[in-house]
Structure 1
Amino acid sequence: MKLNDIDFLIIGATKSATTWLQQSLQQDPNIYMPAPELHYFSRCYDRGDDWYLSNFEGQKGQRLIGEKSNSYMDTEGAAERIRQKLPKALLIAQLRNPIERAYSDYCMLYRRGEVDRDIAKYLDPRRAAGGRFLNGGLYFQQLQAYVDRFPAEQILVLLYEDMKIDADAQLNRVRKFMKITGELPPRPVEKKVKDKAEPVVNPTLRRLLRPFKPMVAPFRNNSGFKRIRSMAVAEVQYAPLTRELRERMNDFYATEIEKLGAIVGMDLNGWLKNGGIQ
């Protein structure tokens, strides 16, 4: 296994159904993708190429080999590292309305007990500019690094919103981009991945119990532990994204969205007009 055996990368964006895309592609016998996100070109580059390639040892002669790491989109330097190591790789970016993406990311971390209910602290550009949630949607800046380094025919930009309308068509776009022909496409994964409506342990309780997590880890699959946990789970009540906050986020992203539409050849004004959260 060599670096030039890797054919494609899904580079992001976070909370844009890239796990759905990965799991759908993994159903195709032509494709091999390791399950975890490797984050090699972003967070783990110091581990070296041998470590990176060791994650592909499970592949058994599949025609196409790739991986998904959402941090490749928003990590400075990742694009240049990929250009140096995988100059011929196909790059797939699936993007989502940045306002909805930020809110979804906030909800995920709230479920984990890592943020509190003061949503404006994380999403209001007057207070949170430069933070994870808002920066994650600066797609023009992120994609420009790849456009500057790779030919256009190696980059595919997809929209989360198109996937919601027709998942089969979205997968067919990917298959065409990867030149997979002559076979029926795999059915896309139907179960929603990382559903924020799924009941969990109360986020406040999760924060309080976090120091004890290593102690209870060996018992997580125990039937008694599962019964106790089932008594503590409930559907999470998230802080709402108010109209006022959405309007501030609209203003924050407006220029970025306009520039993004120009480089990808898409009309993205609907992102700013859409008043609902999915």
Structure 2
Amino acid sequence: MSDDTLPPMDFIVIGAIKAATTWLQAQLDQHPDISIPEIEPHYFTREHSRGAAWYRSLFPDTKAAGSLWGEKTADYLAKPEAAERIAKAYPDVKLIAQLRNPVDRAYADYKMLFRRGTVTGPPEQYLTWLDNEQPRFLNDGLYAAHLRRWMRLFPPENLLVITFDDVRDHPQRTLTSVLEHLGARPYDDPEAIARRYNDSSEKLLPMPVRKALAPLKPLARPYRDNALFRATRGLFAKPISYPPLSSDLREHLAEFYSQDVRELESMLGRDLSHWVPATSQTPPSALALQVDEHAQALSNCMHTGGNDEKIT
């Protein structure tokens, strides 16, 4: 195999961020016929310059007959360049998109970067308008705008869309539908299915300690489920206190996403009205204009190749 040969991929989980994609990755990793890297490669976004040989190195040396190879990178969904690059490299690949109530997703994404220390201000600083230092919080939840891009590049039968609600309420049924989409034989691990991943309520070490220990994180990963390791960590870990999402800001976000959610319902033929409360009316003109302009910019980006901005 030459150094510039890409791995023979069967599927890619494209996101969204904070929509239970880590749960799905864990389920697929348990399947005896599926190979999926533990890390998010980001090969078709910020790590593309590392080249095909690096991407290929994330997979086994050989691919057994009947096995399926895939990866999960949750930022692909919202990145125009990812859709174009994947379509060029793997025009027949199976895609899985996981969506979540965009209001909850935006706040969950904010909380993730808050506990990492990437953002320090209140939610209002980042979740009011797109024009802020973390536009991904709002942008990544405009699912209809993003899925439209993928649907232009791939046949409809190649794309499976599931939701956070599906995983929460019917995990076994959801996993079964995913495996059927991939053409994989039925398989389940009840313990893994019931486990929560990337839980924002999980206790964490103080930020200075986490930063000091960051270089050792890869070495500690194999021991995370060890009882002694967990007990020792528990002595120092503390719950994180997050700035709350106010009812006014939640209503504002529902208005921001209402038009996109309606379009998504039409695209998927699915009722998602519980994502946008009935009290939320048509977005105010200024907010509607911002969403429309941003959607148009996303569409234009589809034809200009996007960009490779690095996200956290």
TM over 0.5: yes
**Structure 1: segments with no counterpart, 5+ residues:** none
Does the alignment pair 1:196 with 2:200? Answer: yes
Letter in 1 for 2:77: M
Residue in 2 aligned with 1:132? 136
Residue in 2 aligned with 1:257? 261
Deviation at 1:83, TM superposition (A): 0.6
Deviation at 1:57, TM superposition (A): 2.3
Q: Deviations over 1:234-256 (max 9, x none)?
A: 21121111110001001110111
Tell me which moved more, 16-25 or 133-142: 133-142
Residue in 1 aligned with 2:154? 150
CA–CA distance in structure 2, aligned partners of residues 59 and 14 of structure 1 = 30
Equivalent residue of 1:189, what SS? Answer: helix
Letter in 2 for 1:95: L
Residue in 2 aligned with 1:53? 56
CA–CA distance in structure 1, aligned partners of residues 263 and 197 of structure 2 = 30
Deviation at 1:273, TM superposition (A): 2.3
Does the alignment pair 1:42 with 2:68? Answer: no
Tell me which moved more, 10-19 or 232-241: 232-241
1:99-248 equivalent positions in 2, closer than 5 A: 99-125=103-129, 128=132, 131-181=135-185, 183-187=186-190, 188-203=192-207, 210=211, 212=212, 217=216, 232-248=236-252
Q: Deviations over 1:56-114 (max 9, x none)?
A: 12665151110001121112211010010000100000110011011111111111122
Q: Percentage identity across aligned positions? A: 36
In the comparison of the two structures, how many residue pairs are matched? 265
Deviation at 1:260, TM superposition (A): 1.5
Deviation at 1:115, TM superposition (A): 1.7
Residue in 2 aligned with 1:79? 83
Deviation at 1:233, TM superposition (A): 2.8
8 A contact 2:7–2:55 mirrored in 1: no
Distance 1:123 1:252, change over 3 A: same
Tell me which moved more, 120-129 or 92-101: 120-129
- Over the residues paired in the alignment, what is the CA RMSD in angstroms? 2.8
Does the alignment pair 1:31 with 2:34? Answer: yes
CA–CA distance in structure 2, aligned partners of residues 86 and 50 of structure 1 = 16
Residue in 1 aligned with 2:286? none
Letter in 2 for 1:31: I
CA–CA distance in structure 1, aligned partners of residues 195 and 278 of structure 2 = 25
Equivalent residue of 1:146, what SS? Answer: helix
TM-score after normalising by structure 1: 0.85
Letter in 1 for 2:120: D
Tell me which moved more, 135-144 or 11-20: 135-144
Residue in 2 aligned with 1:20? 23
Equivalent residue of 1:92, what SS? Answer: strand
Equivalent residue of 1:116, what SS? Answer: coil
